[in-house]
Amino acid sequence: MVTYAYYAFGSAAGLAGLSLIAKTLVRYRICDAGLVTWGMGTGAGVAAGVVWLVLRVPFPTPAVWPLLGVVAAAQMALWAVNRALQEGDLSTVVPLLSLRIPLAAAMAVVFLGETHGLGIYGAVVLSCVGVALFGVGRPLTAQGGHGTRPAVPIVIACAAAAAFALSDQFAKLGLDRSDALDLLIWSLMLRGVFCAAMLARPTYRQYRVALRDWGMFLVSGGLSVAALGCLYEAFHLADGVTLVNVILGTRGLFGLVLGAVLGRVLRVPLEKQPVRIYVLRAVGSGLLFAAVLIVLLG
End-to-end alpha carbon distance in the chain? 11
Q: How many domains does the chain have?
A: 1
Residue 142's pLDDT is what? Answer: 55
Give dist(CA 181, CA 186) in Å, integer: 8
Query: Which is more confidently placed, 204 or 265?
Result: 204
Mean pLDDT of 272-296: 77
Tally DSSP H helices, then E strands, for the chain: 12, 0
Question: Any idea what DSSP says for residue 26?
Answer: I
- Closest residue by Cα to residue 159 from 76, 87, 90: 76
Give dist(CA 49, CA 39) in Å, integer: 15
| 298 pLDDT higher than 70 | no
Q: With pLDDT > 90 as the criterion, what percentage of the chain qualifies?
A: 28
How far is residue 272 from each of residues 20, 43, 88, measured CA to CA in Å? 15, 30, 11
Give dist(CA 68, CA 130) in Å, integer: 33
Backbone phi and psi for residue 286, each to the nearest 5 degrees, phi listed first: -65, -40
> Is the separation of the CB atoms in 93 and 157 below 8 Å?
yes
Write out the residue range of the structural domain in which residue 278 sits: 3-297
Mean pLDDT of 19-31: 82
- What's the chain's average pLDDT? 82
